[in-house]
Amino acid sequence: MLRRGCAKLPRMNRSDRAKELLKRLPKIYPDAHCELVHSNPLELLVATILSAQCTDKRVNLVTRELFQRCRTAQDYAAISQEELEGLVRSTGFYRNKAKNIRAMGQVLVERHSGEVPDSLAELAAIPGAGRKTANVVLGNAFSKNEGVVVDTHVGRLSQRLGLTKFSDPIRIEQDLMKLFPQACWTDLSHWLIFHGRRRCGARKPDCANCELSDFCPTANQPPKTTRAASKPD
């Protein structure tokens, strides 16, 4: 039985906490998954680019229409800046996102025969992407565990759970990759994101009902701001 609200925490180092998380999180969130709606790698790539500083819920509303208008890399390369801006406006930073998505389409057409590549280096080099987006696409569209997706939730929980002392996403990812088996890297991101959205919010963590509070080193403490964020709750 999971203990909640215990005053005395067991002594654990990072490795111990990682092992305990690996036992508990799959049971707490057996259905954890990527909440960006997509049916192929291209749709996931576009949705992930749009998700910067935007909620998945909002992105899913936008892509419902966008994916009807643009179905191929050629479509994204050919659509006008003005039309694409109109379609993605509500996701925020719409001018830059539209510019990057059009450039993404051009790169896919010119360098990858219109297909989304399945290597970290090639994905990270796509306009508007980067390592985090590459990890999202590789893990969820190609079932490749090349890294750990570190968004605002993963960064925040990694700090609160004492898995890292860093705020930089790259340093956080490096720490997590050392602590957890590669086979679970994609799932780890989903578990932590689900927990961050449903239990361990940025402003009001629900420590009283948290399934991890008995070994969380920051349980019942005032929340601290993390700079690993890239999107809101």
Which residues are known to be catalytic? 132, 151
Residue 120: φ, ψ to 5°: -60, -45
Assigned token pair, 3: 């203990």
CB count in 10 Å sphere of residue 81: 12
Which helix (H) or strand (E) covers residue 112, if one does?
Answer: helix 94-112
In 3-state terms, what secondary structure has residue 3?
coil
The region that residue 130 occupies, defined by phi over 0 for left and psi between -120 and 50 for alpha, beta otherwise, is: left
Closest CA to 153 of 50, 64, 34, 20: 34
